[in-house]
Structure 1
């Protein structure tokens, strides 16, 4: 495993990143865990990912439709509302499982909900691995303008 410190967070490279996620969940004693995904990652990635997670905390899944056109404030409001209704608090964790859109919107949601809560990106596409999940930049689109907010 290789770990690279990057400001306030770590970038972890290894063959079993889920082990690090399990360690992080255990160390931080989160009150609740929410997994944000789209319909594609929910079908193809989430079951395998969840089968490796070791926690007594129930993981609530928040699924959105796939596509860049949904990376907007309206979708954010829907997710913020869902988090509030499900009792998310400052000690909650968001895990984003998906491509660039999920990494971007999930990070933005985590940064803005309750003035910021912890999140982990689990990128499932090459673009998400090299762009959206690295660098601490998250944003949503404003109309046809990408990453304006």
Structure 2
């Protein structure tokens, strides 16, 4: 299985993912492409991503701090300001390369910026691969309340590359397996 369809978007796996991303970008005439990472994924996942997609070396990289405590409107404001300063417009694309915080927050940022720009999720944790990056759930936390502000808005596509799992520690893998078990039980 290389492709699944989830509503209005495709979820691509393994070897089909990067050629599909290249094709979408070449055919869509995006004015600018931005990649959102957190501090962890910028170090461990951005270099292989840029190897698979060489033109990504020319795209603007936006970085947020790592961790759930930064999944806030304050962080969104920072990303919106960066997008604005770097000339993002209605025809820009935001690629969210990271775990659940990056895909949730990045999807929300894209959905609200200039009333909505296109975005793609590339989850880098098992939990994000099975939950956060698919289904169009976007959002941020409101104080201690998880995912209280957000929208349902589907990405252009989701790319699942299991090679990113090699960057994770055992705790993060276990967390992803627990989420898969929870979905199975539900």
- The TM-score, its normalising length taken from structure 1, stands at 0.94
Q: Which runs of 4+ in 1 moved over 3 A?
A: 54-57
Q: Aligned residue for 1:115?
A: 115
Is 1:133 the counterpart of 2:133? The answer is yes
Q: Aligned residue for 2:87?
A: 87
**Greater helix share, 1 or 2?**
2
State the distance in 1 between where 2:100 and 2:20 align.
Answer: 21
State the distance in 2 between where 1:116 and 1:58 align.
Answer: 23
Q: Deviations over 1:81-110 (max 9, x none)?
A: 110110001111000111110010001111
Which deviates further from its counterpart, 119-128 or 13-22? 13-22
Q: Aligned residue for 1:6?
A: 6
Q: Aligned residue for 1:45?
A: 45
Which deviates further from its counterpart, 48-57 or 37-46? 48-57
State the distance in 2 between where 1:11 and 1:56 align.
Answer: 20
Query: Which segments of 5 or more consecutive residues in structure 2 lack a partner in the other structure?
Result: 150-186
On the 8 A contact 1:22/1:55 being kept in 2, the answer is no
Report the secondary structure of 2:95's partner residue: strand
On the 8 A contact 1:22/1:54 being kept in 2, the answer is no
Length, aligned pairs only: 149
State the distance in 2 between where 1:55 and 1:23 align.
Answer: 12
1:44-83 alignment, distance < 5 Å: 44-55=44-55, 58-83=58-83
Q: 1:64 to 1:57 in 2, by over 3 A?
A: closer
Q: Aligned residue for 2:19?
A: 19
State the distance in 2 between where 1:98 and 1:4 align.
Answer: 20
Q: 1:56 to 1:44 in 2, by over 3 A?
A: closer
